[in-house]
Amino acid sequence: MQRKKQIDGLKSNKFDVVIIGGGATGAGIALDAATRGLKVALVEREDFSSETSSRSTKLIHGGVRYLEAAFKHLDRTQFSFVYEALHERGIMINQAPYLSSVLPIIIPVYSEFEKLYFFSGLKVYEWMAGKRRLLPTTLLNRSEVIKYFPLLKEKNLKGGVSYCDGTFDDARMNLIVVLTAINRGAVISNYVEAKELVKKNGKIVGVRVEDVFSKEEWVIETDVVVSATGPFTDSILKMDDPDYDSMVEPSLGTHLVLEPLYTPPHMGLLIPKTEDGRLLFVLPWQEHVILGTTDVETKTEFHPKVPDNDVDYLLEHMGQYYKKTPLKTEITSKWAGIRPLAKEGVFGSTASISREHVIRITPSGLIVIAGGKWTSYRKMAEDVVDEIIKVFSINPKSKCITKDIKLIGAERYKFEIIEELQNTYKIDKSIAKHLIQTYGDLAFEVAKIAKDGYNEKIVDGYPYIEAEIVWAIKNEMSQTLIDLLSRRMRLAFLNQNKAQEAIDHVCDLVSKIPEYESPMSMDILKMEAMSRFKYDV
Ligand SMILES: Cc1cc2nc3c(=O)[nH]c(=O)nc-3n(C[C@H](O)[C@H](O)[C@H](O)COP(=O)(O)OP(=O)(O)OC[C@H]3O[C@@H](n4cnc5c(N)ncnc54)[C@H](O)[C@@H]3O)c2cc1C
């Protein structure tokens, strides 16, 4: 998948719809529109998922917190919102099972009341998922909780409640939604920024865009522009009319990554209410542990930095429940992301689809989607494309089919193909497992490249191999070292030092791939990656 071909496509066509933003929301809309037969383009100013969509807690979830709020306020909308997300959870796991897995999560309880309270609530959570339920909610006694979490403080511990959600690789999921959309006819490029909405008689007729690397500008013709820019929604809204009120309330969430000491490999822990009323997750992810998250007001910015206060907050609160407070030196990686929360006030005046996401259509014809969560990306996309079809009187060739779609890599995937992969290519089991869980049935293609001489690990202690770099350059529109080490491979999100260590090796390899057209000098790409991975990702 060459970016140049996509850029040529963006220059030479008129589109039914142009989407601004290549995070989960924009990618989902591109896939939905393409599969309904619309001619669709998408531009992303940086890399796919480089903002919020690669910085999540990695949960595919209905939202236990919302269920509690629904009970407390007897709020039917909140119930339907959890119901919908639980339904979407099942669909999303099914769309790309190789990128996700079922994750039991334990809530430790410290009184009989808590035990009953969480068990009954989470039983309802399980039932609400209907035929898409994962594993049953169960009660655990004190010794079972201690067996799974030996580092948990035992004082006053009465037992636990185990419930289930899904966990996934957010950046790779985003990428394969993009690649599946391209396979279905969408024209999509990263590193193309929307600069201006072009209008005639007050109505949108195109978007002026710029290739971030070459600085070339052109207009993509279309009557329908969708802003799916998450935390950056207001900047596009103000491009349309500087007087519009803002629609998004940005809130920053931090995650820390630790060595896998604090959870078993396939079970997470949730502290439902810290002393200041927040949720604290301690979750296994890719042989590490993620600790998160915070929720603080912020200003919108690209690549938000992890505030020192958030690091202290997370470690300190984990220490209140664990016998051992993790040290700062144990943190192997950290990131912050901005939640694109839709502002309360905008609901009344807009085409409100649910309390969580909001679709607004401006008089010039700009469609803006804000809010939502990763788990609901498909439903948000369906709602947006339904609105487009209605408002612009478009006749789609097909109805929405994304509920049943298999994303690329998922068509022939089942975990058992790992044996075939190992036998055919004689590769180590841990690498075969990693390839299968990263590329699904395309793992065979990556293994073939490895067999042709690209089988070295890029760094000790992690299963990433050289063949993945070749694959990412040729097939995944990877442009920079940061794209490669943060999102095609998740090394930087797991271990910043190891990602820094890998830079020279990756750089040498990339320079030898004939298909790679470096967007800038390799020295600049190296420096950029070095400085990014130094503090956080
Ligand atoms: C800390 C945290 C934890 C979370 N955890 C979970 C979770 O576990 N499960 C879950 O379901 N949800 C979770 N979420 C929510 C979820 O991550 C977001 O709802 C989702 O990723 C938002 O996707 P998006 O595409 O709307 O925004 P983004 O991913 O931010 O994408 C917007 C894109 O628009 C691009 N853009 C902006 N301006 C322009 C322009 N002018 N031209 C071109 N492109 C432009 C940006 O570069 C960006 O890539 C979490 C969110 C946060 C912050």
Domains of the chain (ranges; CATH) run: 3-53+172-247+343-391 (3.50.50.60), 81-166+249-340 (3.30.9.10), 417-535 (no CATH)
Tally Cβ neighbours within 10 Å of residue 2. Answer: 13
Which atom of ligand 1 sits closest to the CA of residue 231?
30
Which pLDDT score is estimated for 411? 94
> Residue with the nearest Cα to atom 4 of ligand 1?
56
392-432: pLDDT as tens digits: 999 999 999 999 999 999 999 998 999 999 999 999 999 99
Which pLDDT score is estimated for 343? 82
471-501: pLDDT as tens digits: 999 999 999 999 999 999 999 999 999 999 9
Question: Measuring CA to CA, how many Å separate 38 from each of 10, 181, 186, 224, 382?
Answer: 15, 11, 9, 11, 13
> Residue with the nearest Cα to atom 1 of ligand 1?
253
For the chain, what percentages of helix, strand and coil (3-state, to nearest 5) are there? 45, 25, 35
Side-chain half-sphere exposure of 276, counting CA atoms within 13 A: 10
CA distance 16 to 33: 9
Which pLDDT score is estimated for 344? 63
- Give the mean model confidence (pLDDT) for residues 451-462: 96
454 alpha carbon to ligand 1 midpoint, in Å?
A: 33
Confidence of residue 46 (pLDDT cuts 50, 70, 90): very high
Is 80 exceeded by the pLDDT of residue 355?
Answer: no
Confidence of residue 76 (pLDDT cuts 50, 70, 90): confident
Task: Decide: helix, strand or coil at residue 343.
Answer: coil
Instruction: Tell me the backbone φ, ψ of residue 47, rounded to 5 degrees.
Output: -100, 160
Find where tokens 């009970």 sit: 71
Which atom of ligand 1 sits closest to the CA of residue 24?
25
60 alpha carbon to ligand 1 midpoint, in Å?
A: 14
Which pLDDT score is estimated for 67? 87
Average pLDDT value over all residues in the chain:
94
> Residue with the nearest Cα to atom 32 of ligand 1?
229
- 526 token code pair: 């190296």
Which pLDDT score is estimated for 499? 98
372 alpha carbon to ligand 1 midpoint, in Å?
A: 9
Which pLDDT score is estimated for 1? 63
* C-beta separation of 330 from 496 below 8 A: no
- 410 token code pair: 């998922």
Which pLDDT score is estimated for 68? 86
- Give the mean model confidence (pLDDT) for residues 454-462: 97
270-314: pLDDT as tens digits: 999 888 888 999 999 999 999 999 999 899 999 999 999 999 999
Confidence of residue 55 (pLDDT cuts 50, 70, 90): very high
Tally Cβ neighbours within 10 Å of residue 468. Answer: 25
Q: Name all residues whose Cβ lies below 6 A of ligand 1.
A: 20-26, 43-46, 49-53, 55-59, 61, 193-194, 228-232, 253, 293, 337-340, 372-375
List strand residue ranges (DSSP E) for 293-356, in order. Answer: 296-297, 333-342, 351-352
229 alpha carbon to ligand 1 midpoint, in Å?
A: 7
439 alpha carbon to ligand 1 midpoint, in Å?
A: 23
- Give the mean model confidence (pLDDT) for residues 196-215: 97
Is 60 exceeded by the pLDDT of residue 354?
Answer: no
CA distance 59 to 168: 6
Choosing from 7, 47, 56 the residue with most ligand 1 atoms within 8 A of its CB, the one to mutate for a pocket test is 56
Left (φ > 0), alpha (ψ -120 to 50) or beta: where does 264 sit?
Answer: beta
Beta-ladder partners of 334: 256
Is 60 exceeded by the pLDDT of residue 112?
Answer: yes
- Give the mean model confidence (pLDDT) for residues 359-365: 94
Which pLDDT score is estimated for 59? 98
- Give the mean model confidence (pLDDT) for residues 455-474: 97
